[in-house]
Structure 1
Amino acid sequence: MSRSRTTVVDIAHAAGVSKSTVSLVLQGSPLVNEKTREKVNSVIADLGYVYNRGAANLRQARSKIVGIVVNDLTNSFFAELAVGMDMVVQSAGYVQFLAHSGESVDRQREVIASMRENGIAGLILSPARGTEAADLKPLIDSGIPVVVVVRNLSGAKVSTLLSDNYTGAKAAVRHLVSLGHTRIGFMGGFLDTAVFAERLRGYRDALQEAGIAADEALIVHSAPSRAGGVAAVERMMLLADRATAALCLNDAVAFGVCDGLRTVGIEPGKGFGVIGFDDVIEAKTAVPALTTVSVDPQGMGQRAAQLLLKQINAGGNEQESLVTSVRLVVRQSCGAPVRNNHLEEMA
């Protein structure tokens, strides 16, 4: 095969790897293991491929593409976040290249590599679980602006846009305490994410402020999804002294908690107080309407896109760290106070 006609696709096919992996090898990325690197380099030598870095850099410089990678598009929060980003990106004359990592770091690396190959001008990333600062080093080293949203990434030299998780959680628990609840649960979330840690800290501090001892049995970990909310209720129902209300990690979990409560004959907002976090569009129309901490997903997406475009236009990767304010929106799902043994009577 002649040198001029050999492509990255040819190399990927011959080496039995993805096109994105070949791109990572060509870029000298540390994300590829040594065995795979050697195999790809051997094929490159055999086929006589020459990587035109200058042409690649030129494509990137002229790019009007913005990469957006989120960890869970099945959660409507991230869909609304992406809509907000697209509103700003499109009005600025850029095209949005959206991808879903599904909480897989490997998948995330693949899509980011593919985006780099297509010459993105910048990247907005809501990191998958387990993402490390080193994962973004190739992007940063190449001068591509990066904005990390929703989940903080410790040690990464990039701009960040986060919501005030601690203050929001604290306000939610204070409200439940004001209704007379003393057995307040915290439902949903992965232990190894910063969002979980920040919201849990707000929950704990609000209980302490009210003179209520935190009961570890009422902190129920589960996937941050609707199914995770159902699973959290199932686990809570096994407790002898159950909660009478709960702050949920996000609205998706809260919707699942409501589903799970109805399954055991408990009506959300009457037999159990439920508060979510995010204020997605469905929160207003849910039955009962969901009390939640409003993050304004679309507005957050717009601010993230504005921050990225600012860096693209400045031609650099100057770090900025922004925290968006939140507010508690009280609707019907938090209900009225109930006696500590009310759930036992209804179950």
Structure 2
Amino acid sequence: MSKARTSIVDIARAAGVSKSTVSLVLQGSPLVNEKTREKVSALINDLGYVYNRGAANLRQSKSKIIGIVVNDLTNSFFAELAVGVDMVVQSAGYVQFLAHSGESVDRQRQVIASMRENGIAGLILSPARGTEASDVKPLADSGIPVVVVVRNLPGAKVSTLLSDNYGGAKSAVRHLINLGHRRIAFMGGFADTAVSSDRVRGYRDALMEAGIALNQNFVIHSAPSRAGGATAAERMMFFDERPTAALCFNDAVAFGVCDGLRSNDIEPGKGFAVIGFDDVIEAKTAVPALTTVSVDPQGMGQRAAQLLMKQINAGQVDQETLVTSVRLVVRQSCGAPVRQTEELA
């Protein structure tokens, strides 16, 4: 159930200023001094006031807008996720507003605030690094359903949709071990995200399970991008004893690792085994075709949208946590024989 909407009068009373002063702050007027502006702005955020552009009416069952905010739209995983969301919300008569935070918490706050002003019926969020539960609290408090995807947000009373990062990483490393590799690296990803931690943990546990000692140098963190993958591969070239295979944080990193290998006259899938994580559309058509842990980005977007629509239709905010299964898709980049390029459960 939605709480009563905070009014300008409430903000003015709490700040000890007039209604007109609050209005000037909302309009960005230079007539208000900076100290007053900061005080009023802080109260607007704390009390969850939404500037009235018809947003209050839109939110109450009339809104047909779904917000989706992702942390890295340059990664095709998130483009595919957004396509999956759109397939569901469009068929339900809603329109999707898509925004890119670029890993900036400030930018994320701005776009979410703008979406609230325009009356979103619900929000799907892949949080920027450093996002806290308090960043989505105003939405939950005002009765707007939120589904957090890909990255967990501990303490936030919202629904969460994650993939089995630990199990997927463990399965991939086991496959490399079965192919005969003993010097296996983990490449890419920011060390301070839960997704990276879970995938590294799966990598380490698979090595431990096989009795292979972990070489800390073989965990090479970098930006979770193609450029980050190339950087990780270049760093590996300076090792006295190089790995012979790598599990990459995601497919973008894997493509970059392949670039870095080629620039050093090493052919992926022949001189070095590469496994990605996600299974974006380009993975199948890459040369060599990329072995990867399939998360099914479009399917994940569809499930996130279904979870959100369920709450919108019920008229209440529920808290559910779902972890989707993943599967290893074996292709040529890991050096597997052609007969092993079938999808594995």
Q: Which bracket does the TM-score occupy, shorter chain normalised?
A: 0.7 to 0.9
Give the partner amino acid of 1:29: N
Structure 1 unpaired stretches of 5+ = 33-49, 338-347
* 2:188 counterpart of 1:188: yes
> Which residue pairs with 1:149 in the alignment?
149
For residues 272-295 of structure 1, give each alpha carbon's deviation from its aligned partner in whole angstroms, at most 9, with x where no partner exists: 000000000000000000000000
* 2:56 counterpart of 1:57: yes
- Does the aligned pair in 2 maintain the 1:31–1:135 contact within 8 Å? no
> Which residue pairs with 2:7 in the alignment?
none
Alpha-carbon distance change, 288 to 58 in structure 1, aligned in 2, over 3 angstroms: same
Give the TM-score taking structure 2 as reference length.
0.85
Q: How many Å separate the matches in 2 of 1:223 and 1:51?
A: 35
Structure 2 unpaired stretches of 5+ = 1-18, 338-345
Give the partner amino acid of 2:30: A
Listed as ranges, the matches of 1:290-301 within 5 Å are 290-301=290-301
Alpha-carbon distance change, 308 to 15 in structure 1, aligned in 2, over 3 angstroms: farther
> Which residue pairs with 1:133 in the alignment?
133
Alpha-carbon distance change, 130 to 174 in structure 1, aligned in 2, over 3 angstroms: same
Q: How many Å separate the matches in 2 of 1:331 and 1:89?
A: 33
Give the partner amino acid of 1:172: A
> Which residue pairs with 1:318 in the alignment?
318
Listed as ranges, the matches of 1:108-257 within 5 Å are 108-257=108-257
- Does the aligned pair in 2 maintain the 1:270–1:336 contact within 8 Å? no
Give the partner amino acid of 1:143: G
Alpha-carbon distance change, 31 to 288 in structure 1, aligned in 2, over 3 angstroms: farther
Q: How many Å separate the matches in 2 of 1:177 and 1:15?
A: 67
Alpha-carbon distance change, 7 to 28 in structure 1, aligned in 2, over 3 angstroms: closer
- Does the aligned pair in 2 maintain the 1:105–1:131 contact within 8 Å? yes
Q: How many Å separate the matches in 1 of 2:50 and 2:223?
A: 43
> Which residue pairs with 2:306 in the alignment?
306
Alpha-carbon distance change, 31 to 52 in structure 1, aligned in 2, over 3 angstroms: closer
Q: Structure 1 stretches (4+) deviating beyond 3 angstroms?
A: 6-10, 24-27, 50-56
Q: How many pairs does the alignment contain?
A: 313
Match of 1:68, SS?
strand
- Does the aligned pair in 1 maintain the 2:189–2:224 contact within 8 Å? yes
- Does the aligned pair in 2 maintain the 1:26–1:51 contact within 8 Å? no
Q: How many Å separate the matches in 2 of 1:8 and 1:189?
A: 44
> Which residue pairs with 1:14 in the alignment?
30
Match of 1:12, SS?
coil
1:10 positional shift = 7.1
Q: How many Å separate the matches in 2 of 1:184 and 1:254?
A: 14
1:30 positional shift = 3.5
Q: How many Å separate the matches in 2 of 1:16 and 1:269?
A: 63
1:233 positional shift = 0.5
For residues 169-201 of structure 1, give each alpha carbon's deviation from its aligned partner in whole angstroms, at most 9, with x where no partner exists: 000000000000000000000011110001001
Q: How many Å separate the matches in 2 of 1:153 and 1:54?
A: 30
Q: How many Å separate the matches in 1 of 2:130 and 2:228?
A: 19
Q: How many Å separate the matches in 2 of 1:295 and 1:274?
A: 17
Q: How many Å separate the matches in 2 of 1:92 and 1:297?
A: 20
Give the TM-score taking structure 1 as reference length.
0.85
Q: Which moved more, 1:311-320 or 1:218-227?
A: 311-320
1:55 positional shift = 5.7
Listed as ranges, the matches of 1:25-36 within 5 Å are 25=41, 28-30=44-46
- Does the aligned pair in 1 maintain the 2:164–2:326 contact within 8 Å? yes
Give the partner amino acid of 1:272: F
